[in-house]
Amino acid sequence: MATAEEIAAEQFADVVTRHRPQIYRFLLSSTRDPDLAETLTQDCFLKAHRNWSGFRGDSSAMTWLMRIAINLQKDHWRNRRMQFWRKTQTNSVDLDEASDWLASGEKSVEQKMMARERVGQVWKAVEGLSERQRTVFLLRFVEEAELSEIAQATGLSEGTVKAHLSRALFKVRAELGGRR
């Protein structure tokens, strides 16, 4: 018969398996650095594991994990020592490289070029967003989270989330508008 600890470990392993890709994706889109995203993802699950017994299930496990991930990447960028190295030691890929990734679909060469251009414009706009705007934007349009889920994960009110999203969309629109 399995003990309570064994059950908890099994549950946590299941959570890691199910949510790791999404947490990694969010951190990758936030940092544009695959290695850093991987490190922060590991930190996120390590922190989650330490606090797993304290997780009451008030929100979904994904929301809880996303909150940890958001705080970790926030801490990372706000750390002054890291900010010093940020200029010289970043492994972030540039916008062109990030825009090279397109979903494989049956598109013509012209469609692919246009799609690549659009993706590049969105990346450029994302780069110009504030930290909060970027987080809210990525959660909404990459992770497809509901406003209430974003509010829970970021600790902001739904009204504030809407305001950040609106400003982010304004900037993306402006970037796309400049392309025309």
Partner 1 sequence: MKIWGFKGKTAEERGTEEAAGEPLDAELRQALGDFRLAVHAWSEAALSRPRPALARRHRPAWRLAAAWTCSAILVAAGVSGGGFYQHRQEQIKQVAAAQARQAEQQRVVAVRRVQAREEEDLLAKVDSDVSREVPVAMEPLARLMDEGE
Site string for partner 1, 106-125 (x = CB under 8 A): ---------x--xx-xxx--
- CA-to-CA distance for 115 and 22, rounded, in angstroms? 23
- CB closer to partner 1, 42 vs 51: 42
- CB closer to partner 1, 7 vs 114: 114
The closest alpha carbon to 24, from 49, 44, 4, 9, belongs to: 44
Angle at CA of residue 80, ends 99 and 62, nearest 5°: 55
Residue 114 token pair: 């246009």
Q: Which of residues 21-50 bind partner 1 (CB under 8 A)?
A: 21-22, 24-25, 28-29, 34-35, 37-38
- CB closer to partner 1, 3 vs 104: 104
The closest alpha carbon to 32, from 150, 120, 151, 136, belongs to: 120
* Contact status: 151 vs partner 1 (CB under 8 A): no
Residue 161's contacts (CB-CB under 8 Å, 6 or more residues apart) are: 136, 147, 150, 151, 154
Question: Which residues of this chain interact with partner 1, rule CB under 8 A?
Answer: 18-19, 21-22, 24-25, 28-29, 34-35, 37-38, 60, 62-63, 66, 88-89, 91, 98-99, 101-104, 115, 118-119, 121-123, 140-147, 149, 161-162, 165-166, 168-169, 172-173, 176
